[in-house]
Structure 1
Amino acid sequence: MAATSFASHSVLRRALIRAFASSPAPPCGISKKFSRCNTLFSLPLSGSLSSSAAGICQLAVPQAIKGDVDGLLREVGDKNTNEAVKQIVELAKRASSRQEVLHTDFLTPPILKESIVVLEKLTDVKAVAQGGYPQAERCRLSVGHPQELKSDPDIVAALSITGNFGFQPCSHGDFLGSILGTGIVREKLGDILLQGEKGAQILIVPELVDFITSTLDKVGNVPVTCRKIPLLALEYKPPRTQTFKTVEPSLRVDAIASAGFKISRTKLVDLIRSGDVRVNWTTVTKGTTTMKTGDIVSVSGKGRLKIGEINPTKKGKFVVELIRYL
């Protein structure tokens, strides 16, 4: 399989999808509870990275390139992010050596940022990030030899989800939960753009468009209709934010998030224990995690906030600027 061309992979993949078009088993990118699909699509047929505990799956790559990958990685401070970047670098080098263009799934901003920093050091690799619109937060990376990657591949699709949300408004979490409830994994889904009473627009991998349009019929308690739309039809507005400052004795996540979301420290600790608190899209398990400028803290059901400027006081405390997304 290692010697099979990318074109052959694509042909095989399309054949498998056609074979399963009438089968109850969903296409690639569906949750692990659909074991038949995951068994058949566990090979890198599209050259893309699938989900794993670290967010990126382990791909078989030539032994010759493994020795120098660690030297390209800079310290990112997060083990999962570091491992994910390493896998992307290996994928990029494999694509370059084979004169192919391969694609990742949607990446979180920290992984995307660190990957681009490392890939820029490789002279034989070109990387193109696409999220569907210029301000996209979650993006896919296309990697390959500069001679092969001459134009932006068509790897992001857009869907419009409409319904009568006038009397039953739905949040970002409502849309995300309903979409993931169909069985797809988070890495196959990009940004979700809320449109108030009209519904939302979402970015997704193209191969799951038909699956979502035929499967997603409700968000919350609101019946919905899904249809594919051109990327140029996306309606994006910068998120509304509220900026304020707090003085804290430490930069621990339980202290900062408690102030940012205006909930008690005890409640925040309980949320951490239940796995509902994430820093830079990674679940934290300890309230002692130290925050720094630029970090993103998200709490399930509460939203997210960004850590702005941090200044120490003469009394040993910290003045922290918090940017709350509304």
Structure 2
Amino acid sequence: MDIYQHFRKEEIPFIQQVEDWKTNVGTMYEAKLSNFLDPRERDIVAAVVGQDDTVNVAFFGGVAAAERQRALLYPFYEHAEEDRFQVELFEVDYDRKFANIQHRDLLGALTSLGVKRELFGDITVTNEVLQFFVAEEIGDFVRLNLTKTGNMPLALRSQPLAKAVRTEEHWQEDAGFVSSLRLDVVIAAIYHLPRAKVKPYIERERVKLNWKVVDQPGTLVTEGDVISVRGKGRSKLIAVEERSRKGRLRIVYGRKRL
């Protein structure tokens, strides 16, 4: 079976990279640890490795339900203990009387250091705690250089993974009708926006499909796809049902509660 037929054209370079990882592990018998992967990328890794007798794969991102996780491809005779994933947890202290740091603030502070997004994992923000995961190989760099966000001083403390705060995503399920599964049409239905206003969002790269920026309004959406619209939250296409008598498709979708 040709694995490429199950994925989008733009995902082929990553598929080929994973195939190289698998080949190297299978011939050299040396494990390969990836950077942090989003759920779509993990699906690709799992599909490429498949039910292989020589190479196994496991995922971990600091907590079991992390959205962003590292992949470990390893020979069949080894085990995937958590410490092999080299994930470090930082907790951020700051004066909450003068600021309320959000996910986007910490994300911006990290990227402003030149840290690539694939080198840090989930960011957890609650009323009491601000935490994030990073690859251990950049832990010292982050500890020394992440000293503020905006004008707010930060203090980082390394914590054991057992102290990671778990948060659950809550989705509000709903349904609607669309004329097609074009990205702009689906977004208009899910977010209750005029289609004319959706196109500029996409063309200005304010929309992500499966965690990747897309700029083509005509991109087709399929069941299971996750859509993010900047400033309007995240949604996912749960199901596509039969056409109505008027020829419109009924879709079931979930929106993340903000």
What does residue range 162-181 of structure 1 map to in structure 2 within 5 Å?
162-165=93-96, 168-181=99-112
The 2-side partners of 1:115 and 1:200 are apart by 30
Is 1:136 the equivalent of 2:66?
A: yes
Residue identity opposite 1:92 in structure 2: K
1:241 match: 171
SS in 2 for 1:161: strand
Per the alignment, residue 125 of structure 1 pairs with 55
The amino acid that maps onto 2:238 is G
Question: Could you tell me how far apart the structure 2 residues matched to 1:315 and 1:267 are?
Answer: 25
Relative to the length of structure 2, the TM-score reads 0.89
Q: Which position in structure 2 is the counterpart of 1:104?
A: 34
The C-alpha deviation readout for 1:152-199, integer Å capped at 9, x for no partner, is 414211111232346643432222122111110011011111123x35
**Alignment counterpart, residue 218 of structure 1, candidates 148, 151, 159:** 148
Q: Could you list the per-position Cα deviations for residues 192-237 of structure 1 after superposition, in whole angstroms to 9, with x for gaps in the alignment?
A: 11123x3521111001112112211223553322121111101112
What amino acid is aligned across from residue 41 of structure 2 in structure 1? I
Residue 323 of structure 1 corresponds to 254
Provide the residue aligned with 2:92 in structure 1: 161
2:250 match: secondary structure: strand
More strand by share: 2
Q: Work out the number of aligned pairs and report it.
A: 255
Distance 1:262 1:182, change over 3 A: farther
For 1:156 and 1:293, how far apart are their aligned partners in 2? 31
Task: Please tell me the residue identity of whatever aligns with 1:94.
Answer: N
Equivalent in the alignment of 2:18 = 88
Structure 2: distance between partners of 1:231 and 1:174: 23
- Root-mean-square deviation (CA, aligned residues, Å) is 2.1
Provide the residue aligned with 1:17 in structure 2: none
Tell me the residue number matched to 2:136: 206
TM-score, normalised by the number of residues in structure 1: 0.72
- Aligned partners of 2:72 and 2:80 also within 8 Å: no
Are residues 179 and 237 of structure 1, via their aligned partners in 2, closer, same or farther at CA, if it must alter by over 3 Å?
same
SS in 1 for 2:228: strand
Bigger relative contact order (CA 8 A; separation at least 6): 2
Secondary structure at the residue paired with 2:62? coil
Please tell me whether the aligned partners of residues 60 and 85 of structure 2 are also in contact (alpha carbons under 8 angstroms).
no
Contact 2:205/2:213 (8 A) holds in 1: yes
1:89, distance to aligned residue in structure 2 (A):
2.3
Unaligned runs of 5+ in 1: 1-70
Q: Deviations over 1:110-157 (max 9, x none)?
A: 121121122123321111211111111111111121224464414211
Between the aligned partners of 2:96 and 2:200, the Cα distance in structure 1 is: 32
The separation in 1 between residues aligned to 2:229 and 2:235, in whole angstroms, is 9
